[in-house]
Structure 1
Amino acid sequence: MSSLAEKHRDVELTLSGLSCASCVGRAERALAAVPGVSDPQVNLATGRARLKIAGPETLTQATEALERAGYPATAQQATLNIADMTCASCVGRVERSLLALPGVTAAQVNLATGSATVSHVGLEPAAIAEAVTNAGYKATPADGQIPTAAPGDDAAALHRAFLTALALTLPIFIVEMGGHVFPAFHHWVQNTIPTQALWIAEFVLTVIVLAGPGRVFFRHGVPALLRGAPDMNSLVVLGASAAFLYSAVATFASALLPEGAAHVYYESAAVIVTLILLGRWLEARAKGEAGQAIRRLMELAPDTAQVERDGAVSDLPVEQIRPGDIIRLRPGERIAVDGEIIEGSGNVDESMLTGEPLPAAKAPGDTLTGGTINGNSLLRFRVTATGADTRLSGIVRMVEQAQAGKLPVQALVDKVTLVFVPVVMALSVLAFLLWLIFGPAPALPYAVVAAISVLIIACPCAMGLAIPVSILVGTGRGAQLGILFRRGDALQRLASSRIVAFDKTGTLTQGKPSIVGIETAGTGRDDIIRLAAGIEAGSDHPLALAIIAGAEAEGISPAASSEVNALPGYGVSGIADGRKVLAGNLAAIRNAAIAPDESLLNFANRAASQGQTPVHVAIDGTHVAAIAIADPPREKSGEAIRELHDLGLKTALISGDVQEAADAVGKSLGIDLVRGGVTPEAKLETLAGLGDDTVFVGDGINDAPALAGADTGIAMGSGTDVAIEAAEVVLMQPDPSAVPLAVRLSRSVMRNIRQNLFWAFAYNALLIPVAMGLLVPFGGPQLSPMLAAAAMAMSSVFVVTNALRLRRFS
């Protein structure tokens, strides 16, 4: 792979706004005019431009030229796995190295997941990773895969390093500190082993600790210091090295030190490394537990399945299964891939998908999802999706994207961590000078201890982990409960929500309405049903399905249709049996300039007052029928509204249904505000009128604008793909009671984040002054570097452990 700085590098850009050959010519001329660009070629069919650039800066100029010409390059996304990040300072430096690349438009780095999401134009993922590696943090393109082995591997390696360091440190610690606890032991050591020999033995053991298990800190910390970008490892290196070097001078050249200052601190240097390795191991293990939810999801699908091919049944690896294959599913077997049942019926445990403990009844025509568990029936199903196209893979991607995201509150942490380590180093120097000037004689040992303690006790790790690890655990727990956060920042907005607005049909109601009455005017009832069912045949809207089901129940075959046109928020129109048919709400009739029939309007109003939905039918420009359709509320809709009220939230119903029908449902459920007869565009306006901190819950195509426009959009997993794509939170079960559950989860995550941030900032704000010696003038103790190391090691462990409590959320 060529370096970014290599001359005449080939670049491929995806352009928007290309519509004709003239556009191609203008885009090529705009590129050719940029100095350093050669051989630009724009392809209208693919919408892509190929060009050669003389250097990285040329790419920026080329994209700016395309922007001015009206054909901006579309940003692409790359995901990197990044090793060696240990604190918030590392995160900031990786982000800066990414943003410094010409062509990178945005970058988000996550310490908890060890990943980066990069928006870029015209770059290769390998080249982006190379830039991060050059900054001192080994990076590789993720290729869409989630790293699952790294946390366990890190924990195991750190555990081995800690045990080695502990074995080497214990003799030093016992000899130096045991005498403070047991004076008799101190006298025995002094009388048995010459002091010089004892110090040399401690020197050797400490060298082994620093060069062996402690090498990891030097490997990362020293290069960071040399680059002028010190991190957490740099603080450990400076602190441990200062204690070791001072001790080495006292051991081999004590004449260089002031009288009475020849003390050794080998135990501090060794214990610092050992305790911080302990903290890193506990942190890595806890982080591994934090990501278990998503890894367990990935491991749900089995490796093989029984496939019927060429009249024979054989066990095949999942990688060899293709859409269209027929799979035989035995009782109690876990389903390997997505499919549709063609034979058999029974119950399937979908709790991993929906969080619903009761099994779902399945029959021919129903869908099966990979990772779920078959009940006691033998089923045969046709494969509809495999690999990355399965629903389980989609869930994993959603959760991964949310976990990699940043909350708005992260901006404050980023500003602090940007300068944290340099400030700590400056405070360490200040503590050294103050003790040297004002400390009791001999002042040098006190100054050294204070400087080392400041370096060691500072913990940017806790600040860096405070937010992402809570998101990691919270979104993973949400996935287990059937709540998918597609973006991490939705957690923060949902937690501060003030009002929750619902769509009606398919959201608060069952979405399986049925015909309860028909009023006609001049056309036979059967003809009305046949023609209406004909143009509704291709729709999956609940009202359309009710008409189709009504025709089927009465043995009426839908009319052959053509030129069918969906009118989102209004209805559907088309040609059936050569006649122009319109079926929809009253607004659809009026928009088509059709005069409403008075008797049909009266029938529709009576139906709406009883909570039924009227569908008006016009044939060849004449209003000929009104069909009353009833859609009962979902079983837990009332419970969901009550729970939201208990959480202090207001509720609203915004429906395209007539006001009377919406009022009837709203009154029965206890909803605060009801708006009916609202078009898809007007839904967004109505939602905006509710003020800030709004949530909208919907499931249909007509809900997409409101889902996208709300502060937080929540889509029912049973809804359309358009609705799910527009939303930021997806409920895998068609159950509105999951909405207050999502609110409570988001509030728990944000409360957890606030606790972590308070600890991280309070810890550093309180203990760094103590390490400098603030308590000494008031009769307090001077903090030992060993205690400082223990406090720092446990600080980040506390943050991760606190976040792990979210796994118990229910």
Structure 2
Amino acid sequence: METHSKILSIPLEGIHSEHCALIVDDALDKTKGVLNHNVELNNHQAKIEVDTKQFNLKQLTENIRDLGYDVTTLKKTFPITGMTCASCAVSVESILSFEEGVVSAAVNYANATATVEYIPGIAKLENFKKAIQSIGYDIIIEESENQEDELTKHQEQQFSALKRKTIAAALFTFPVFVIGMFFMEMPYANWIMWAFSTPVVFWYGRSFFINAWKQTKHGKANMDTLVALSTGIAYLFSAFNTLFPEFWHSRGLHAHVYFEAATVVITFILLGKVLEERAKGNTASAIKKLIGLQPKTVTRITKDGQQEDIKISDVLIGDLLLAKPGEKIAVDGSVLSGTSFVDESMISGEPIPVAKNLNDKVFAGTLNQKGSFQYKAEKIGSDTLLSQIIQMVQNAQGSKAPVQKLVDKIAGIFVPIVIGISILALIVWIILGGDNGFTQGLLAMVTVLVIACPCALGLATPTAIMVGVGKGAEKGILIKDAESLELAKKIDTVIFDKTGTLTEGKPSVVATLWKEESHQLHSILLSMESKSEHPLAEAVTKHYSGMHPQKVTEFESITGFGVKAKIENQVYFAGNKRLLKEHNITTDAFFSEFIARQAELGHTLIYFADQQKTIAVIAIADKIKETSIEAIKQLQALDIEVIMLTGDNESTAAAVAKTVGVTEYKAGILPEDKLTYVKILQSEGKTVAMVGDGINDSAALAQADVSIAMGKGSDIAMDVAHMTIISSDLLKVPQAISLSKQTVKTIRQNLFWAFIYNLIGIPIAAGLLYPINGFLLNPMIAGAAMALSSVSVVSNSLWLKYRASKL
């Protein structure tokens, strides 16, 4: 038997002894397509001769990994351009999977990326490019610092070009449609329609023919194939009838033309592509903004005590760095000297900045506030917590979508069946049609392709999505892509972040108790807190902002305790319980019940006292949003499980959960814990929605089946999320789910209307009724039926506006 052999060098990991080599040799023996092999222990590789027709690199890799060893591979993500439907992604994935040296390939249509695992010594990126270009798409393998910007610019240019093409095609189509429908008897009608339809078919619609040809060369067919066939045959048939009408007149038939069918089809399909592109979200900006959290330069303290500005990439582990007021922390590390408050909301999601003292940990991307400190670099580059969050978001976004679009699945079956029926109709008519068999068969073939034209199919989903997204926007729900809107109806579990989602996200005074309440004492407390840098002091200052402050003669900020001030020769204190204990200040039983109650609710307490006794206790908390309780009730009424996840402490989390009516919650968790929790729920077969507002939620948002961000939250959360609630009103969450159900219902109805004419019309168009009653469907009637299906689809989508307004 003839073989197509080739020698490959497979790099191996974990091969440290002759015993290991023998085990791998055994695995190679069992791998199909491996003709000869030799494991080279010194070089840590296997030299194998393979039959390229039978050998499967993925299977070999799996066999070696099952033994506890590994093949050295590289896994990279590449942008893909030119994909227009989910079937395009399948074609690209298939082509990449069969490239030499590729272990696995996964193409994400929503993100327009391909994640490829390959062996660098065997696979060549240039071959990836050639293979993908051969089927009408492209892959960007060149790396540059501005790759994200260049890709975004390219996508914007492509979209602008598509819009211009659609508008121009519509302008040329309009006169063809009017003449074809109402003025067929006017002089030179056919010639005029021919002149206007030619640029539509061969210029504005040229991509359909080019892509269809490239697909055909690889034995594949997609929507482009059907569009090219139907419009191409209708155009050529009409051109023949315009040039040689006597061919039909001599046979007693009228020389009909169908230029309007060809032009209308192309224009409608182009419009469908524009609508779909508008619905797709661009997730590249989310990663760009996450990366932008890390400053480009940092101040390093040299061994002789001098300061120097260096690039982040030049920081080494152990370097002494300076965090100035208002600057972002450059890398992960520990405080060596100085104190400050750092906004760590991107990590914990909590709005209250954290005090940083000696040996406290700091994290890259967090924001230093008014103080200044020096810290030692401990984790740099990809090891920082921020880099890990970025990686988690990239992995979650790059994973394959949980569902494929229904229209593309149907189209994959519909296209070859329609082509087969049209050819079969022609053959049957030639065999059984007698003298006019070829003529009638050609008419039947054209009629089948015209009535089966996918313009209604192309509009079924985009029009419903356009209306659904539009109604969502009217109600303050921004929906990024069609898939999330379609999937939201299946949600059975909703995860809420606490801070900024269930709560307002801003600390404020929620309760006060004064032993000696007076306007003057309020003014004294305001005077002290207005001079404090502590973020909790801002809540007190805002609460008593209507008072006139007193003159402070002496002021001292005591880090970790509070503040001390002298006003009108009297010393006052404001801070935590430890501050009072430090100065032997008593708090009598008058405050006991209040303190216990506020502690139970998880509120933070500030004590205001003079040198002998406590004057007042102020409770500060992050207020629960007014709509949170009702929104959770509505979700639970829909039989949806509601869970709360927060980085806050157990007591605060328990208090908030109890107030809003959530029975299951997790406290004190980090961003990676939220991501893991979402994955666990998904592994149990649940459809998970994540609702959050902060950078710390971004990885979990990206992993969730449907992610919903608060409009008043971080830009990163909104970019990653599939939906954004502009007002941050949680009542919009159950509304979004209801809107999804109505939109999906409309899409299914649209698909019914798009196909019912085909299911009834195609057999009739092929001539099924001719032997019974002599009826043969006229292509003009087929064109009208096609148009009617489009009208039905658009009308039904517009009806969604009325139904959605009732939500």
Q: 1:203 Cα deviation (Å)?
A: 3.9
Q: 1:234 Cα deviation (Å)?
A: 1.1
Q: 1:224 Cα deviation (Å)?
A: 1.9
Say which of 66, 74, 77 aligns to 2:64.
66
Matches within 5 A, 1:77-226: 77-99=75-97, 107-118=105-116, 124=123, 126=125, 131-141=131-141, 147-166=151-170, 168-169=172-173, 172-173=176-177, 175-177=179-181, 179=183, 189-190=186-187, 195=188, 199-200=190-191, 202-226=193-217
Say which of 465, 490, 497 aligns to 2:492.
497
**1:25 is aligned to 2:21:** yes
Q: Is the 8 A contact 2:72 2:119 kept in 1?
A: yes
Matches within 5 A, 1:590-669: 636=624, 643-648=631-636, 649=640, 669=659
**1:244 is aligned to 2:235:** yes
**Cα displacement string for residues 385-406 of structure 1 (whole angstroms, at most 9, x for unaligned residues):** 8887777776665555444444
**Cα displacement string for residues 139-189 of structure 1 (whole angstroms, at most 9, x for unaligned residues):** 344879764234312212223333444555555455545626xxxxx6xx5
**Residue 269 of structure 1: aligned partner:** 262
Q: Distance in 2 between matches of 1:797 and 1:89?
A: 28
Q: Distance in 2 between matches of 1:725 and 1:247?
A: 51
- What is the TM-score with the length of structure 1 in the denominator? 0.56
Matches within 5 A, 1:340-379: 361=353
**Residue 669 of structure 2: aligned partner:** 699
Q: Rate the CA distance shift 1:410–1:773 in 2: closer, same or farther, 3 A.
A: same
Q: Distance in 2 between matches of 1:223 and 1:364?
A: 62
Say which of 441, 450, 455 aligns to 2:447.
450
Q: Is the 8 A contact 1:501 1:654 kept in 2?
A: yes
Q: 1:758 Cα deviation (Å)?
A: 1.9
Q: Distance in 2 between matches of 1:491 and 1:673?
A: 28
Q: 1:722 Cα deviation (Å)?
A: 13
**AA aligned opposite 2:281:** G
**Cα displacement string for residues 739-793 of structure 1 (whole angstroms, at most 9, x for unaligned residues):** 9899759846964773575256334333434764979999999656488489779
**AA aligned opposite 1:89:** S
**Cα displacement string for residues 420-451 of structure 1 (whole angstroms, at most 9, x for unaligned residues):** 3112324555788999999x999689746632
- Of residues 258-267 and 384-393 in structure 1, the stretch that sits farther from structure 2 once superposed is 384-393
Q: Is the 8 A contact 1:501 1:697 kept in 2?
A: no
**AA aligned opposite 1:424:** V
**AA aligned opposite 2:276:** E
Structure 2 portions without partners, runs of 5+: 506-559, 561-575, 583-595, 603-618, 718-724, 770-774
**AA aligned opposite 1:699:** I
**AA aligned opposite 1:228:** G
Q: Is the 8 A contact 1:87 1:460 kept in 2?
A: no
**Cα displacement string for residues 590-642 of structure 1 (whole angstroms, at most 9, x for unaligned residues):** xxxxxxxxxxxxxxxxx9xx9799xxxxxxxxxxxxxxxxx999864998677
Q: Distance in 2 between matches of 1:493 and 1:74?
A: 40
Secondary structure of 1:7's partner?
A: strand
Matches within 5 A, 1:201-600: 202-257=193-248, 258-284=251-277, 286-287=278-279, 290-292=280-282, 294-295=284-285, 298=288, 301=292, 308=299, 361=353, 398-410=392-404, 416-428=410-422, 447=444, 450-457=447-454, 496-497=491-492
Q: Is the 8 A contact 1:41 1:49 kept in 2?
A: yes
Q: 1:96 Cα deviation (Å)?
A: 3.8
Q: Rate the CA distance shift 1:721–1:653 in 2: closer, same or farther, 3 A.
A: closer
Q: Is the 8 A contact 2:407 2:457 kept in 1?
A: no
Q: Is the 8 A contact 1:202 1:266 kept in 2?
A: yes
Q: Distance in 1 between matches of 2:789 and 2:180?
A: 20
Q: Rate the CA distance shift 1:169–1:408 in 2: closer, same or farther, 3 A.
A: closer
Q: 1:246 Cα deviation (Å)?
A: 0.9
Q: Distance in 2 between matches of 1:730 and 1:270?
A: 41
Q: Rate the CA distance shift 1:747–1:386 in 2: closer, same or farther, 3 A.
A: farther
Q: Distance in 2 between matches of 1:50 and 1:469?
A: 55
**AA aligned opposite 1:156:** S
Q: 1:81 Cα deviation (Å)?
A: 2.8
**Cα displacement string for residues 44-103 of structure 1 (whole angstroms, at most 9, x for unaligned residues):** 9xxx74545545416356436525655365886443433333234333333444555687
Q: 1:276 Cα deviation (Å)?
A: 2.9
Q: Rate the CA distance shift 1:87–1:355 in 2: closer, same or farther, 3 A.
A: farther
Q: Is the 8 A contact 1:453 1:788 kept in 2?
A: yes
Q: 1:250 Cα deviation (Å)?
A: 1.3
Q: 1:218 Cα deviation (Å)?
A: 1.2
**1:40 is aligned to 2:31:** no
Q: Distance in 2 between matches of 1:724 and 1:174?
A: 50
Q: Distance in 1 between matches of 2:746 and 2:243?
A: 45
Q: CA RMSD in A?
A: 7.1
Q: Rate the CA distance shift 1:243–1:319 in 2: closer, same or farther, 3 A.
A: farther
Q: 1:419 Cα deviation (Å)?
A: 1.8
Q: Rate the CA distance shift 1:401–1:466 in 2: closer, same or farther, 3 A.
A: farther
Structure 1 portions without partners, runs of 5+: 181-185, 511-545, 557-606, 614-630, 675-694
Q: 1:220 Cα deviation (Å)?
A: 0.5
Q: Distance in 2 between matches of 1:208 and 1:152?
A: 25
Q: Is the 8 A contact 1:250 1:264 kept in 2?
A: yes
**AA aligned opposite 1:211:** F
Q: Rate the CA distance shift 1:665–1:43 in 2: closer, same or farther, 3 A.
A: farther
Q: Rate the CA distance shift 1:143–1:448 in 2: closer, same or farther, 3 A.
A: same
Identity of aligned residues (%): 20
Secondary structure of 1:410's partner?
A: coil
Q: Is the 8 A contact 1:337 1:383 kept in 2?
A: no
